Amino acid sequence: GYETMFPIPLGLSCTWDMTAIEESARIAAIEASADGISWTFSPMVDISQDARWGRCEETFGEDPVLVSQIGGAWIKGYQSRGLFTTPKHFGGHGAPLGGRDSHDIGLSEREMREVHLVPFRHVVRNYDCQSLMMAYSDYMGIPVAGSTELLQQILRQEWGFNGFIVSDCGAIGNLTARKHYTAKDKIEAANQALAAGIATNCGDTYN
């Protein structure tokens, strides 16, 4: 079939036109629904500040307020056609050190809350986001895949999120020696992720 093509997210953000962005998402949702899709891993509301990062084009840019507004418009467009939305990647994924993806770069709580968590807080508090995708990275030395501080205390207790959490693809497996070294095998990795509140695994760890 044929699909309507829109500018990349970074290009869409340059319009500052929330009506047009919401309409773009609505059209995408119509076409996705026609193909039988009911759940989408979108929107990406990471804040990108380092041009060396290879995923900047997937983001809506570096301004927390603009990204928040676009994320909300995108969710409205998707939800108008009944699609489940998944804001990602929670949290701090767009802040890699030297452009290297998925590492702990020592973000302070103040920088996380005043910059990188702002769009997530906005969409969780203002829209009925059915799900949310967690990030590959660490926060305060703890992998997000096992962080009760991020996934329970902040996300659920402070913000009132009542949807389900899905892992980024392979993120739970990364708790083993593949990256984080907090789990000796996939069974231990799965137990850590489940304890943190990750309901759905993109990958094979929960198998």
Please identify every residue annotated as catalytic: 168
Instruction: Write down how long the chain is.
Output: 207
| Nearest one of 153, 152, 199 to 172, comparing CA atoms | 199
| Residue among 177, 81, 76, 175 nearest 134 (CA) | 175
Q: What angle do CA 162, 165, 171 make, to 5 degrees?
A: 165
Which single residue is written with the structure tokens 């759940």?
39
Q: Is the peptide bond before 122 cis (omega within 30 degrees of 0)?
A: no
Q: Is the dihedral of CA 87, 90, 91, 95 positive or negative?
A: negative
- State phi, psi for 123 to the nearest 5 degrees: -75, -30
Q: Which of 166, 143, 54, 149 is nearest to 99 (CA)?
A: 54
Q: Within a 13 Å sphere around the CA of 34, how many CA atoms are in the beta-carbon half? A: 10
